[in-house]
Structure 1
Amino acid sequence: MKGIYIVANDKVIENTIALLNSIRINDPLIPIYLIPFDDQYHNVAEIVTKKHDVKIFPDLKFIEDFTGQIAAIFDRDFLALPNKMRKLVQWFGPLDEFLYIDTDIIIFESLYPILDYLQEYQFINCDYHFKGRKLNDVFSSVVTEKNIFSSQELEDVFNSGFWGSKKGLFSISELYKILTECANNKEYFDFSQKTTDQPILNYIILKSTENRLNLVKLNNHEPGSWAGSKHFVEKDHKLYDKGKPLRYLHWAGVPLNPQGNYYELWQYYRYLGEEKPANISVDNHKTNYWDIIKNKARKLLKK
């Protein structure tokens, strides 16, 4: 079975709704599973299970046990939030082939053609991290100095917000072994910009796979996807990069608020199928956050 995993809790309920609205326009029936980030996920779960036909990851005990094992493997001065690694449980979930998508993303096309690449590849992603940020936010210079990975392998570094893989890529014991390698070699990783799971996930993939694909390398005309790029052109609630339609837009490290890039486009997807509030100020977005969430949740659940 092919499908999508997301990780969310009540704090990202707005972004989660926008993401799922954008997915359901293009793929009304694709299976979607929510992995709870922590125990504070019941409000978002109540909405998305009804509104978007999302299912909760079926083995919550496995998630709890996994989080506990992560906490045991990593010192807190290395990995302050073990829950950040919960996205790794999807290799042991119900989907045979899957995409993982961060909640600060909106989707512009069907995801099935992307998932089809997993018939041939063990791991897929779609971003320009290798070309822009390169090893920043992933690995330190120690990795190249000690030849931990080849220069060719390091061309496959990726942003951890949008990627896909297959169930059974490794066993849980094999994964714990790789994570222990990470914990014992903190100097390999670049956490200078407060990234969390991204360096670890890159290490896991480079160690575990040989057959990888970055979709932006398929040709010289693949569009971008980063909301920090201001040159995208909007038409009919989609974005275009020099005439090429974007697959998705990701606010990685970019403010997703009324003063940020493409915020009106995000609002379109957030309020798709419901009445958009007349005014959303920056102050209200911050100070009245939970009141806004509760009111919108009530409206959605009445539908």
Structure 2
Amino acid sequence: MSRGVYIVANDKVCENAIALLNSIRLHNAEIPVYLIPFNDDYQKVATQLQQSHGVKIYPDLAFLNQFTEKIGTIFDRDFLALPNKMRKLVAWFGPLDEFLYIDTDIIVFEDVANSLNYLDDCGFICCDYHHRSEGLKNVFAPDIRERGIFTEEQLGDVFNSGFWGSKKSAITQARMVELLQECAQHREYFDFSSGVTDQPILNYLILKQIPQRCNLVKTPEGSPGSWAGSKHFRDRNWILYDQEKPLKYLHWAGIAIRPGSPYWSLWEHYRYLNEAKPPEPNLWQKWVNRLTKRTR
């Protein structure tokens, strides 16, 4: 049985992808990691991650392109803000029998294989407090509750789509297409008001298809939160803690990672974990950089 990690990336998020892989490899040097290209501009990030971290390209790019085209036929052009974000769904049809999907705006603080072990007892895992802090926001519209599409217990399992895991056997291609077509026929079920794309659709798929789900924050041992917008986490030797509990990961969901962002120094540490950090530009260079951007 093969187990590993999928990420979605292109050259635009290369720096974030390097930081993520540095953190993954710090705790597990061997676990397979596959890159699902977000679009055709992925050669730089693919080469970098392959050389430095042993990351492989999703092996069936023809299928990936076919899947992307299928999404375009299922959903109206104005239905999804960024249709290519749906490419993460091909994780169910890749080479890994059990897998984690991790967004590139994440840093992990432990061996990611630890989370995969929970798939011994369920078909889907996540690890976040979206159900408590956000409720149905950025997932479902009120119609989904009013029409009784899901039970209250099911709605309590909504999750953020940046860190989750499942099994290849959990869904077939035919069933996924069927569920995606259901989604396309009911725009009123979903909350796209903040510009999200894949999260509402993925939640619908999971709640409809996989009855055995586990949110790791709800397990007896529990797990702390993960959002970089939370200001109370404390850094101990480049691992964040919520009181005495170490975080599994930190997610800059909805937050641009740049100087001044929450936990910026932590991100910088992992980005330059295996190389020298470039010197800060002087005031003259900063002025030139700003002027160059304005004239582009």
Class of the TM-score when normalised by the shorter of the 2 chains: over 0.9
1:168 and 2:153 matched: no
Question: Does the aligned pair in 1 maintain the 2:216–2:222 contact within 8 Å?
Answer: no
Letter in 1 for 2:215: N
CA contact (8 A) 1:221 1:244 kept: no
Mapped partners of 2:88, 2:281: distance in 1? 31
Residue 46 of structure 2: aligned partner: 45
Superposition deviation, residue 220 in structure 1: 6.9
Give the total of aligned pairs: 288
Structure 2 counterpart of 1:148: 149
Q: TM-score, normalised to structure 1's length? A: 0.92
Distance 1:280 1:146, change over 3 A: farther
Tell me which residue corresponds to 2:19: 18
Alpha-carbon distance in 2 for matches of 1:220, 1:32? 27
Amino acid at match of 2:241: Y
Provide the C-alpha distance between the structure 2 equivalents of 1:207 and 1:23, rounded to a whole number of angstroms.
31
Q: Which residue is 2:30 aligned to?
A: 29
Identify if the C-alpha distance between structure 1 residues 110 and 220 changes in structure 2 by more than 3 Å, giving closer, same or farther: closer
Say if 2:86 and 2:198, in contact at 8 Å, map to a contact too.
yes
Change over 3 Å in CA distance of 1:174–1:280 after alignment to 2: farther
> Would you say 1:229 and 2:230 are equivalent positions?
yes
- What is the distance in 1 between the residues matched to 2:223 and 2:121? 20
Change (3 A) 1:288 1:107: farther
Is residue 111 from structure 1 mapped to residue 123 from structure 2 by the alignment?
Answer: no
Alignment-derived partner of residue 279 in structure 1: 280
The DSSP-based 3-state class of the residue aligned with 1:6 is strand
Equivalences for 1:177-192 in 2 at 5 Å? 177-192=178-193
Aligned equivalent of 1:199? 200
Task: Please state how far the C-alpha of 1:170 moved relative to its aligned partner.
Answer: 1.6
RMSD: 1.9
Percent identity of paired positions between Structure 1 and Structure 2: 57
How far did residue 95 of structure 1 move?
A: 0.2
Pair 221,207 (structure 1): closer, same or farther in 2 beyond 3 Å = closer
Distance 2:72 2:289 in 1: 33
The separation in 1 between residues aligned to 2:222 and 2:159, in whole angstroms, is 19
Between the aligned partners of 1:13 and 1:26, the Cα distance in structure 2 is 20
Post-superposition offset of 1:168: 2.1
Matched, 1:250 2:260: no
Structure 2: distance between partners of 1:255 and 1:229: 15
Residue 297 of structure 1 corresponds to which residue in structure 2?
none
The amino acid that maps onto 2:56 is K
Q: Please give the alpha-carbon distance, in whole angstroms, between the structure 2 residues aligned to 1:79 and 1:260.
A: 28
2-side partners of 1:280 and 1:237: how far apart? 25
AA in 2 matched with 1:73: I
State the alpha-carbon separation in 1 of the partners of residues 143 and 281 from structure 2.
46
Q: Give distance in 1, aligned partners of 2:92 and 2:222.
A: 32
Counterpart in the other structure of 2:73: 72
Q: Give 1:19 deviation, angstroms.
A: 0.1
CA positional deviation for 1:203: 0.2
Q: Deviations over 1:45-67 (max 9, x none)?
A: 01000100000000000000000
Deviation of the 1:169 alpha carbon: 1.4
Alpha-carbon separation, structure 1, partners of 2:221 and 2:116? 21
Checking the alignment, whether the CA contact within 8 Å between 1:73 and 1:183 is kept in structure 2 is: yes
Residue 279 of structure 1 deviates from its aligned partner by 1.4
Inter-partner Cα distance in structure 2 for 1:215 and 1:183: 30
- Render the CA deviation track for 1:150-185: whole Å, top value 9, x for unaligned: 000000000000000000212111100100000000
CA shift for structure 1 position 222: 2.3
Q: C-alpha deviations, 1:61-112, integer Å up to 9, x for none? A: 0000000000000001111432110000010000000000000000000111
For residues 223 and 174 of structure 2, the distance between their equivalents in structure 1, rounded to whole angstroms, comes to 37
- For residues 100-141 of structure 1, what are the alpha-carbon distances to aligned partners after superposition, in whole Å with 9 as ceiling and x for unaligned? 000000000011121011111100000000000010000000
Partner AA of 2:108 in structure 1: I
